[in-house]
Amino acid sequence: MFSIRSVSKTYPNATIALQNISADIAHGEFVALLGPSGCGKSTLLRLLAGLEAPSKGAIEWDNAQRPGPGDIGFVFQDATLLPWADAADNVYLPLRLRGERRANAAGRIQAALAQVELTEFAHARPKALSGGMKMRVSIARALVSDPQLLLMDEPFAALDEFTRHRLQDDLHALWLRSGKTIVFVTHSIYEAAYLASRILIMSPRPGCIAADIRAAIPEGGNRRTSPEYANLVAQITETFRRIMPA
């Protein structure tokens, strides 16, 4: 889908957030960017979204097609909903910004809300929704323009364990059935191992990719209790121990 080619990012205050990062991401991969706080995960995601420009290097898109508005869905750590708009209007926002009429968009808004199982809450305002439900609305908002690429920045980090498991299950199922490319930032080894088909481990100061692990946990059954999952968690933990001595 795209290649990150020797990308470095230095912020104006001279913080080197990323140094010489390279990776090829294929269509349909579920990539977890895994690393401790401050290693440049968010920065890399913002570069992919085009919200920041790399200081060096480039991101090359397949067929030289830079994604435009609506080609990328972005989900932040906080749900960041408009507090004055109900769930449906929040989901409508990306379409509205591109000049689509509400009447034309109604079907897609409903479909996006249905994907996150919030059909009955279309007219609820954020204040009336739980943290998990707000995050679902946020995901529906990212899905409504049917983007090929979904960028998620620690979206479940602020949720309680039970809600997090539920949303992880749903996201994994969504990825399986939609075939979207997902880049998912997390600092949880378990989350990365459970969700992703590929795990890029980042190390800090300056941020770079320290390991690239393919995951192969069989679908079906309880993946959380499968030996492959346990092995993967062990493998990642071991890798971290190697690359980050005390």
Partner 1 sequence: MNRTLERLAPFAFGGIALSLWQGGVWVLGVPSYVLPSPIDIAKAYLDDYAILNQALLSTLTVTLAALLAATLIGVALAVAMAASRLFRAAIQPWAVILQVTPIVAIAPLIIIWVNQPFIALVVCATIVAFFPILSNTAAGLAATPPELLDLFRLNGATRWQILFLLSLPSALPNFLTGLRISGTLALVGAVVAEFVAGSGGFASGLAYRIIEASYRLEIPRMFAALFLLGISGIVIYTALGLLESLLLRKRNAA
Ligand X SMILES: Nc1ncnc2c1ncn2[C@@H]1O[C@H](COP(=O)(O)OP(=O)(O)O)[C@@H](O)[C@H]1O
**What residues line the site for ligand X (CB under 6 A)?**
11, 13, 15, 17, 35, 37-43
144, 72 Cβ separation under 8 angstroms: no
Per-residue binding string, Mg ion, 113-132, x by CB under 5 A, is --------------------
The least distance separating ligand X from the CB of residue 114, rounded to whole angstroms, comes to 32
CA dihedral of residues 130, 135, 137, 138 (deg, nearest 10): 150
Name the β-bridge partners of 153.
185
What is the end-to-end Cα distance of the chain in Å, rounded? 36
The least distance separating partner 1 from the CB of residue 133, rounded to whole angstroms, comes to 12
The listed partner (Mg ion, partner 1, ligand X, none) that binds 23, CB under 5 to 8 Å by sort, is none
φ, ψ at 75 (rounded to 5°): -125, 125
Q: Is 205 in the site for partner 1 (CB under 8 A)?
A: no
Residues 6+ apart with CB under 8 A from 115: 140, 143, 174
Name the β-bridge partners of 50.
none
User: Which of 42, 115, 138, 168 lies at the binding interface for Mg ion (CB under 5 A)?
Assistant: 42
Closer Cβ to ligand X, 52 or 89, answer by number:
52
The least distance separating partner 1 from the CB of residue 145, rounded to whole angstroms, comes to 8
Stretch that binds partner 1, among 6-14, 62-70, 180-188, 213-221 (CB under 8 A): 62-70
The least distance separating partner 1 from the CB of residue 132, rounded to whole angstroms, comes to 17
Per-residue binding string, partner 1, 101-140, x by CB under 8 A, is -----------------------xxxxx------------
| Plot region of 146 (φ>0 → left; ψ -120 to 50 → alpha; else → beta) | left
What is the per-residue burial (b if ≥16 Cβ within 10 Å, else e) of 223-238? beeeeebeebeebbee
CA atoms within 13 A on the CB side of 228: 13
The listed partner (Mg ion, ligand X, partner 1, none) that binds 38, CB under 5 to 8 Å by sort, is ligand X
Closer Cβ to ligand X, 86 or 154, answer by number:
154
Closer Cβ to partner 1, 58 or 128, answer by number:
128
In the complex, which residues of this chain contact Mg ion (CB under 5 A)?
42
